[in-house]
Copies of this chain bind each other. A is one copy, B any other.
Amino acid sequence: MAGGTALKKKPVTGMRDILPGEMELRQYVLEEIRRTYRSFGYTEIETPVVEHLENLLSKQGGDNEKLIFKILKRGEKLEAAYGAGDKEGLADAGLRYDLTVPLARFYAENQAALPNPFKALQIGPVFRADRPQKGRFREFFQCDIDVFGDASPLVEIELILAISTVLNRIGFGRLHPFRIVLNDREILRGMQRAAGFPEEDFEKVCISLDKLDKIGKEGVKEELLSAGYSEDMIEKYLELAGNPGTEPGDVLDLGKKLEGCIEESVCPNLAFIMSSVRSAEDVPVRVEFDPTLVRGMGYYTGPIFEIRTEGFSGSVGGGGRYDKMVGRFLGKDTPAAGFSIGFERIITIMMEDGTGEKLSAKKTAFLLDKKLDRERTAGALREAMRRRNEGETILLTHMNKNRKFQKESLSKEGYSEFVEFFV
């Protein structure tokens, strides 16, 4: 054994190494995401992976707040906390569980140096100490676009067009036709008001309603009954939310039914978003109203949306308006809305499709005889550099004894042309 005890080869529990095949697909998708979002005027920023614990534990992250990786204090501060028996005080920072909380902090901190409205693109790893399970990892990438300082529906229209353009450009949309379902938190609130649920129970009732696709109408009804709500209220709610149609006109009709329980502009605003997205004909995208859509995070305040694909449960992306979050940092509310593409989900599906294998450009391997002299080696290097500068991929490597096997192995890596340099 070289150099003492053997070290650990496997990654830390729940995290993973990414091999070249998947990495090529990830980079291809990330490049298309960046190129597309940039063309909409979103500008990229970056926040630290490490965030203040106070910010992470500010009741904006829902259940994610239970899954934080905390970072131990160092030096004297650690000694002090330990010595004082202050268990909670051992850590002062944590790994971010999403990109939205750090982005709101970023905007609050840097507002003066940013344009108004500010269109942000952020891509990076986030961390959740979730129970490890197949296809679910404790470190994963998120790719978010967000707009601060603009309350108009143009924001949502552009968010939806941008994400649809990405899904089509990477070839995902062709294989997996998707649709974007929309709702508005204010419509949910209006329906609860109209049905008679108490104002202060809004979040709580939403949590039950969010389970509709998992436990069905009967399950939701049972849950609400056992929480003490009357059958009458529940029936009224389910009738309002049950099948009003998916078109912009249906949103307007529901708005009329909810008159007095909802601000007048809410339904026309959502209908305008839907019809505007449809009218941008260059992007073939299906948008549908769904009054049962809730979206988990408590911070949403207005329109919410989610991307659904045939054949896959759950979503491949989603977002919405959250006009109250920046206020937690700044003391002054700022309109905000964002969309997070389900990057890891999309990569998993595309790997299963075999998309990764079709990406490679032409690659050439130069095989050099091990005894090649300095002059011939220099010639091979010059030729390799010339072709690389023209954009080609040239691998320069020594010839193995078993050249046939070597070429077969290289073929599997995508090398289709071989140039041999003999003594």
Interface residues of A (CB under 8 A from B): 1-4, 6-12, 15-20, 23-24, 26-27, 31, 34, 36, 38-41, 43-52, 54-55, 58, 69-72, 74, 82, 87, 90-91, 93, 95, 105-106, 108-110, 113-117, 119, 125, 127, 129, 138-139, 150, 152, 154, 157-158, 161, 165, 272, 275-276, 279-283, 324, 327-333, 363, 365, 368, 370, 374, 377-378, 381-382, 384-386, 388-389, 391-398, 409-410, 412-413
Contact = CB atoms under 8 A, between A and B. Distances in A.
Contact of A114 (B9, B19, B276, B333): B19
Contact of A279 (B10, B150, B382, B398): B382
A327 to B, nearest CB: 3
29 contacts: A1-B327, A3-B324, A4-B328, A6-B329, A7-B55, A8-B54, A9-B105, A10-B109, A15-B50, A19-B45, A23-B45, A38-B393, A39-B388, A41-B394, A50-B95, A69-B71, A70-B71, A71-B71, A115-B410, A116-B409, A119-B395, A154-B368, A154-B377, A158-B396, A276-B377, A279-B374, A279-B382, A280-B384, A282-B389
Contact of A39 (B34, B279, B368, B391): B391
Greatest chain B CB density within 10 A among A23, A87, A110, A115 is at: A115
A290 to B, nearest CB: 22
Contacts of A46: 17-18, 23, 26
Contacts of A391: 39
B34 A18 contact: no
Contacts of A279: 374, 378, 381-382
Given A11-B109, A43-B23, A161-B385, A327 B3 contact: yes
Given A2-B331, A23-B43, 5 more contacts: A7-B105, A7-B329, A20-B44, A280-B382, A280-B384
A334 to B, nearest CB: 10
Given A7-B58, A329-B7, A44 B23 contact: yes
Given A69-B50, A108-B9, A410-B115, A20 B45 contact: yes
B91 A87 contact: no
B3 A378 contact: no
Contacts of A72: 69-72, 90-91
B27 A44 contact: yes
A412 B43 CA distance: 13
A356 to B, nearest CB: 12
A152 B400 CA distance: 13
A413 B58 contact: no
